[in-house]
Amino acid sequence: MGTVLRDVRTIEHHDLPVDIRIDGNVIASISPSPVTPNNDDDLIDGRGKLAVPGLVNAHGHAPMTLLRGIADDVPLKTWLEEAIWPAEAKLSADDVYWGTLLAQMEMVRSGTTQFVDMYFHVDAIARAVTEGGLRAMLSYGMIADRLDRKGQEELRRTEQLVRDWNGEADGRIRVAVAPHAIYTCGTEIWRKAVDLATRYNVPIHTHVCETTKEVDDWRSRHGCTPIAEMERLGVFSVPTVAAHCVHVDGEDIGYLADNHVTVAHCPASNAKLGSGIAPLGQFFRNNVSVAIGTDGAASNNNLDMLRELRLAILLQKASRQDPTAMNAEMAFSLATTNGAAACGTNAGVLEPGALADLVLLDLERCPTMPVHRPLSAVVYASDPASVTDVFIDGRSVLRNGEFLTLDEEEIRAHARTIGSRLIG
């Protein structure tokens, strides 16, 4: 049984509707003439809808939906030490499971089909992803100074996670190795992490150069930037998702460009925590690959990639006083093609053979209409209510605004209960 999306428009074919045929988990064909559906095919009326590749959220911490708004408008240190860490200490594996289901609801309704994550209780996250239906690259955020018992245990957990979950859920789940940051993991941990990633052929996922303080502290103690240190440690011999990269110099940019690194740019989180605005213009000029992420809901405060896309553009244009600093096409490719490439998945495009991760939007409604250019409508004007249908890995997870794989009422009930306990 396949699926036929009949009479749908795409960004490339916005004047004449096409039929998109999904077979199994891939896009089988996109053709202007009507496709004859098989008897057991699911036939979807795509009239008035625009099909786009699903968005890829390139960096986040899904269960932090439970900590949304627990503290705002305070310095990073206060935010972490007085709000986030005490609340995280209360999170059970079961909480993390429900928080990840809540995150998937939020991501699906705003058009996200794949996400990159780093957290703890990752088995629970993987179970939630198996059920919820998204595609994800999961990781356990290791924090350890040395290769002592704690350090060994962090590495053991990561290896176990790779063994247990990499390639599971019909291939929807991938696992990355995640030393949390250069300043929270010692040299030996980083070297072992690189070995592990190499041995299992999985990427590295980390945070780097998020704040000026991080970079200044590292430089004053070690005489180089965090990114130069990562280069020295051989990290970039492995494909790497480097979240943030707000404060980088010319040499750093060279390292990012010359290796298989994707910067996971998190504009809202970097803005809200006062970290700054990443130099996307320099990244683009130097061919650094950039994707876009929401970061966790505790610093965002949601997981809406449509907002994130638009914000990424507006921050560049405003801070550089240049309306041509970034355009809708660039931003959209960051959030689709580049995000998927960072995960090593053949998604982020609508073409035959690509994974069937796609989203239908109804742009003929008041926040987006009239539609002069579909991509402009998606990037600058749409909101989650524009998203009507979502397919991931060929499977329908949202249809006419209704979740098919996620039990909205049950998830809400659990989120409410856990939320009350966290601030109690």
Site for a second copy in 148-187 (CB under 8 A): none
The Cα–Cα gap between 60 and 247 comes to: 19
- Asked if residue 423 binds a second copy (CB under 8 A), the reply is yes
Residue selected from 3, 139, 270, 294 as contacting a second copy according to rule CB under 8 A: 270
- Asked if residue 276 binds a second copy (CB under 8 A), the reply is yes
Q: Of 4 and 96, which has the nearer Cβ to a second copy?
A: 96
- Asked if residue 215 binds a second copy (CB under 8 A), the reply is no
Residues 364-403 that bind a second copy (CB under 8 A): 364-373, 376-377, 380-381, 383-385
Residues 295-354 that bind a second copy (CB under 8 A): 297, 300-302, 304, 307, 311, 313-315, 317-328
Residues 76-115 that bind a second copy (CB under 8 A): 76, 79, 102, 105-106, 109-110
Instruction: Please count the residues of this chain forming the interface with a second copy, following the rule CB under 8 A.
Output: 77
Per-residue three-class SS string for 88-111: HCCCCHHHHHHHHHHHHHHHHHCC
Q: Of 31 and 78, which has the nearer Cβ to a second copy?
A: 78
Confirm if 208 and 181 have CB atoms less than 8 A apart: yes
Q: Of 262 and 316, which has the nearer Cβ to a second copy?
A: 316
Per CB under 8 A, which region of 20-28, 116-124, 188-196, 266-274 contacts a second copy? 266-274
Confirm if 398 and 108 have CB atoms less than 8 A apart: yes
Residue with tokens 């990114």: 227
Q: Of 26 and 334, which has the nearer Cβ to a second copy?
A: 334
Contacts of 299 (CB under 8 A, 6+ apart): 64, 79, 268, 269, 272, 273
Residues 37-76 that bind a second copy (CB under 8 A): 65-70, 72-76
The Cα–Cα gap between 86 and 70 comes to: 11
148 CB neighbour count, 10 Å cutoff = 12
- Asked if residue 412 binds a second copy (CB under 8 A), the reply is yes
Q: Of 96 and 354, which has the nearer Cβ to a second copy?
A: 96
- Asked if residue 362 binds a second copy (CB under 8 A), the reply is no
The Cα–Cα gap between 70 and 79 comes to: 9
Among 230, 144, 234, 242, residue whose Cα is nearest residue 189: 144
Q: Of 166 and 316, which has the nearer Cβ to a second copy?
A: 316
- Asked if residue 216 binds a second copy (CB under 8 A), the reply is no
Confirm if 93 and 124 have CB atoms less than 8 A apart: yes
Confirm if 52 and 10 have CB atoms less than 8 A apart: yes
- Asked if residue 419 binds a second copy (CB under 8 A), the reply is yes
Residue 139 CB, nearest approach to a second copy (Å): 24
Residues 277-306 that bind a second copy (CB under 8 A): 277, 297, 300-302, 304
Q: Of 351 and 408, which has the nearer Cβ to a second copy?
A: 408
The Cα–Cα gap between 128 and 108 comes to: 14
Residues 221-250 that bind a second copy (CB under 8 A): none
Among 148, 160, 210, residue whose Cα is nearest residue 183: 210
The Cα–Cα gap between 98 and 121 comes to: 12
